[in-house]
Structure 1
Amino acid sequence: MSFTNLGLRAEILHAIGEQGYDTPTPIQAKAIPLVLEGRDLMASAQTGTGKTAGFTLPILQLLSSRQEGLSLKRFKSRALILTPTRELAVQVQESVRTYGKHLSLRSAAIYGGVGMGPQTKALRAGTDILVATPGRLLDHIQQRNADLSGIEILVLDEADRMLDMGFINDIRKIIALLPKQKQSLLFSATFSDEIRALAAGLMRDPASVDVAPRNAATSLVKHSVYLVDRARKRDLLIQLIENHGWHQILVFARTKHGADALAERLDKAGIRSAALHGNKTQGARQRALEDFKRNKVTVLVATDIAARGIDIDQLPHVINFELPNVPEDYVHRIGRTGRAGTNGEAISLVCIDEHRLLRDIEQLMKKSIEKKVLSGFEPDPSIRPEPIQNGRRSAGAAKAQRKSDPRSRTAGKPQRPQQRGASGRSAPPARKSGGNYAGSRDR
């Protein structure tokens, strides 16, 4: 099958051809026809398989076809794409602009970490396709900069991650402002049973597309584990980089402080590194990502939240300096490599504290991961495991919190106005300290 078989208009096919593509990926081939039919859709596929084009292409087709001969109020957006992070919002809007370059549709990306002025100007000038993070979109809605009453298509990109990150109340507030008659699309690499049940209440007879087994990792990635003591992880990482001459490595740390400390340690060892996490300004995050893409830095140390939106076709190595607390996050992490048909390598540095987490990951993937020990870094059998204090809560803890949190039962009811800070922006709700969540909300 080629893109010409999907019924896309000539302007879109021209833009696709300019990017060097002629054959849709499996998720695109299955999802695009369903979206063009106007169906609600839940689509699951491995990271790096073209999910973004799977919804941007048909949205461009539908909106441009409906636009002809119509006189619409340009102030009202017609499609809303919600993403969990700033980086992913930028990436999605780049896709919209790339494939819609020969159309007259307007788009804008709305996210936190930058001033609201340019975003306000773009919104008031009129935008057909709005890509946004939930918190910043609510800021604009409260200031009457955005009008969602004309939304025809809603997309939740990385839907499971948005809901799991605590955006559920924000998403419900936004959905309450949308027309009841709309097309709803959920795209993600993974869907938990809880998320599927929640989505079922938001959609009308949704079609389902599962290109790969749920929570599966691409077969193009080679997995391995180095067993090491917790205090020697940094030295082992430096040794591995020097031994293999790796030149572009995405390293995952569990916390923002840990990411900063590791990047600083690697820099002192002569390995140019940068940290990427929610406490960085948007400008700093963008510079770190661009320097990494251009090989100006060898190692990018990121937290799970900040790494969403990192899209590098031929990223060779992903290293888990610390394993994630939730096994599904392992799939998201290693999905940064092995993309676009290229091979990749996923390496995890595992200490005694993380053996249970490793077993959970192997159980999820239904496979055993090769264990290695580098000479000189043999684990000390006398060291006892310690509790992992920081990092993301377990799925069970998050579920228990949602059940006990009265705010989760007030969605759709009138809310008191949020307190506003000196800048005029809504003050984010207080969050527990620890891990990637304290003060790191992607508004």
Structure 2
Amino acid sequence: MLHVLRRTCSVFRALPGASFACTSSASEPLYASSVASVAGYLLARMMATMHGSLHPQACMAVHAHQHRHLTPTHAHFLCQPAAPSLSLVRSFKRPRVLQRPRIMPVAAAATNFYAQQATSFSSLGVEEELSKALERAGLTRPSYIQEAAAPVLLQGKQAVIAAETGSGKTLAYLLPIGTMLLRAKQKQLRHQYHALVLCPNQALCQQIVATVHALKGDNGLPLLSAAFINTSNPPPYTPPDIIVATPAGLREVLTGSGGAYGWLWTIEGFEKRVRHIVLDEADMLLGDAFVKPVDDLLQALRANDRRQVEAKVFQELGINDTLFKRLPRALHQACWRGGAPGLLAAGFRAPNPPGEDAVLGPYWKRQYVFAAATMPSITFSDVGSRIHKLYPDAEWIATDALHTSKRQVAHHWLEVNDDSWGKQLVNVIKGDPDYQAGKAKTLIFTKDTATADAASSLLHSAGVKHMVYHKNRPMGERTESLERMQQHSGGIMVCTDAAARGIDIPDVTHVIQSDFAPNAIDFLHRIGRTGRAGKAGKVTSMYRDFNIPLVEVLRRFIEEDRPLEAAFSRARSFSQKLKRKGKFVPRGMVASEYEASMK
């Protein structure tokens, strides 16, 4: 036991304030209780080093150990709570990771779309050329989420942008990142750096490229270049400022023939030159369908981040990889986060310490941004919780209207069955005053491609002109349908949830759920296609008897202006939990607490 203790003490000597006197003699025998005391102390000190504060039980371990005959020579630690690592943004909340879902109604003021009247893009620090480009496009006033995100992103910080659909999240990250890329060009740095935007589908990728190219200078040319890449769209020989791709498409390029188009398109070049990483629709990209390629990419980039910081530190402190690997993980983390100053502050004794006037740094830093309209963060398995664990320094920027239905959207609920469904659908479309006036822009959501085609056949027979959008339709037809809906003032499109994520079709007047959404998250994304940018809209939700439990919860929450996150569930867990408990109880809450909060 004494041998183990001595080895443990030798490891912890590198920690701050942990220079140990580990002795044993006949006059002062080392009893098992003393070993247990030291072990408790070591565990407490390790917790303090990793987390920046001592847990109350850890404080008790240190206090108890300080009264033993075996004591560290420096054992005075302040047991104070750690300072918050996530700063607050005005009228925006810190991440509610692993906490109860919000239940209380949201104030009407929280649903405003635009920032304060006096706020402009230039006042937020956006590059003047980009501000002028926005003015030429008719955008002179930022949205609330754009106002909150710009100062954070312009500092190069990691960020989570969580805001309701149609709130302007795309420009919220494109404008600050574009500003940094333009300023880097003006400095004529030796290396050109790039940004990557990952999206779950090609339609969203193409939409982001179009948004970047719409930001034009006085000469009518785009201020920034962007390219959507995959095996069908090979990389351009001139590297774009902003790379847009799906996870699978990017992996195929980097591991395939990408090197033929330049060093940037190799794994090594990509890791060293792409400085900004954005996951648009982050909750979907980190979900089951995409998690493997996305996790592989993020792990590779974060490993490269660590290697680049280590290389600089090795040079500054005169150490090598062999010595570094023998250090405790707490010192590794201090190095990765703070470079040489962070490593020295954590208690590392460099063989050749730098002089007082030595200039240390700057160190490589890659920016990670996660944007989404739904960000579950109640349980450990939720996407928001996983992001918080992997990127604890990320700032969370969220509006109070997150996970709510917009107040300017009117809801109508219609129960149907298999016999009445077709007739009711036609009646809803033809009974719409906007359709009768010839100016309706309507999206009809179905549960899958088969029901989309069935709805299309029904509308054809009823003489309702429309388009169809789903994955089984040819790419050319899908692109044409989206362009027609985006560029014309009216139209009807039958679609699956492929059109519910991120795709911006302006001025949608009516969303019809021909098949009710299977869960609250999909429901929010569907209804988010209308009422965008502060405009009015309406939603007609057709539901069947097996949808009633979810419909009742969502309908009550919407009517009472409550966030819908309490109804979030994974797959079929909503109905399963309802059957098991006999009534609806949100995740993270007990029945009595939920009932009291709903009064």
Query: CA contact under 8 A between 1:155 and 1:184: conserved in structure 2?
Result: yes
Give the letter aligned to residue 63 of structure 1.
Answer: L
Could you tell me how far apart the structure 2 residues matched to 1:368 and 1:27 are? Answer: 20
Unmatched segments (≥5 aa) in structure 2: 1-118, 259-264, 306-364, 563-568, 575-599
SS class of match (2:410): strand
Give the letter aligned to residue 242 of structure 1.
Answer: K
- Which deviates more, 158-167 or 10-19? 158-167
1:275 pairs with 468, 474, 493, which one?
Answer: 468
2:188 pairs with 55, 70, 76, which one?
Answer: 70
After TM superposition, which residue ranges in structure 1, 4 or more long, deviate above 4 angstroms? 71-74, 100-104, 294-297, 363-366
Matched, 1:255 2:441: no
**1:15-164 → structure 2 map (5 Å cutoff):** 15-70=133-188, 78-99=194-215, 101=217, 105-110=224-229, 116-117=231-232, 119-122=233-236, 124-145=237-258, 146-147=265-266, 148-149=270-271, 150-164=273-287
Query: CA contact under 8 A between 2:229 and 2:235: conserved in structure 1?
Result: no
- Which deviates more, 26-35 or 100-109? 100-109
Could you tell me how far apart the structure 2 residues matched to 1:153 and 1:296 are? Answer: 36
More helix by share: 2
Aligned CA distance change for structure 1 residues 6 and 295 (closer, same or farther; 3 Å): closer
Aligned CA distance change for structure 1 residues 366 and 166 (closer, same or farther; 3 Å): farther
Cα deviation 1:323-362 (Å, max 9, x = unaligned)? 1111111111111101122110011011212112313433
Structure 1 counterpart of 2:431? 243
Matched, 1:219 2:407: yes
Matched, 1:174 2:297: yes
Give the letter aligned to residue 89 of structure 1.
Answer: C
Matched, 1:229 2:417: yes
**1:269-348 → structure 2 map (5 Å cutoff):** 269-295=462-488, 298-348=491-541
Query: CA contact under 8 A between 1:275 and 1:301: conserved in structure 2?
Result: yes
Query: CA contact under 8 A between 1:271 and 1:298: conserved in structure 2?
Result: no
SS class of match (1:127): coil
Could you tell me how far apart the structure 2 residues matched to 1:287 and 1:270 are? Answer: 21
Aligned CA distance change for structure 1 residues 137 and 327 (closer, same or farther; 3 Å): same
Query: CA contact under 8 A between 2:441 and 2:489: conserved in structure 1?
Result: no
Give the letter aligned to residue 11 of structure 1.
Answer: E
Could you tell me how far apart the structure 1 residues matched to 2:244 and 2:216 are? Answer: 14
Give the letter aligned to residue 484 of structure 2.
Answer: D
Could you tell me how far apart the structure 2 residues matched to 1:110 and 1:144 are? Answer: 12
Could you tell me how far apart the structure 2 residues matched to 1:395 and 1:80 are? Answer: 34
**1:347-386 → structure 2 map (5 Å cutoff):** 347-362=540-555, 365=558, 367=560
Matched, 1:192 2:389: no
SS class of match (1:90): helix
Superposed displacement of residue 209, structure 1: 1.1
Cα deviation 1:302-336 (Å, max 9, x = unaligned)? 11123324313311000111111111111111111
Give the letter aligned to residue 98 of structure 1.
Answer: A
Give the letter aligned to residue 273 of structure 1.
Answer: H
Superposed displacement of residue 216, structure 1: 1.1
SS class of match (2:431): helix
Superposed displacement of residue 109, structure 1: 1.4
SS class of match (1:272): coil
SS class of match (2:228): strand
Structure 2 counterpart of 1:414? none
SS class of match (1:20): coil
Aligned CA distance change for structure 1 residues 234 and 184 (closer, same or farther; 3 Å): same
Could you tell me how far apart the structure 1 residues matched to 2:157 and 2:546 are? Answer: 46
Count of aligned pairs between the two proteins: 367
Could you tell me how far apart the structure 2 residues matched to 1:228 and 1:395 are? Answer: 21
Give the letter aligned to residue 463 of structure 2.
Answer: G
Query: CA contact under 8 A between 1:156 and 1:186: conserved in structure 2?
Result: yes
1:209 pairs with 386, 393, 397, which one?
Answer: 397
The Cα RMSD (Å) is 2.4
Cα deviation 1:339-392 (Å, max 9, x = unaligned)? 1221100110112121123134336647499xxxxxxxxxxxxxxxxxxxxxx9
Give the letter aligned to residue 99 of structure 1.
Answer: L
Query: CA contact under 8 A between 2:163 and 2:398: conserved in structure 1?
Result: yes
SS class of match (1:27): helix
Could you tell me how far apart the structure 1 residues matched to 2:513 and 2:211 are? Answer: 29
Superposed displacement of residue 127, structure 1: 1.7
Greater RCO, 1 or 2 (C-alpha within 8 Å, sep 6+)? 1
Query: CA contact under 8 A between 2:145 and 2:167: conserved in structure 1?
Result: yes
Structure 1 counterpart of 2:104? none
Give the letter aligned to residue 369 of structure 2.
Answer: L
Cα deviation 1:61-94 (Å, max 9, x = unaligned)? 01111223435566xx611111112111111111
Structure 1 counterpart of 2:90? none
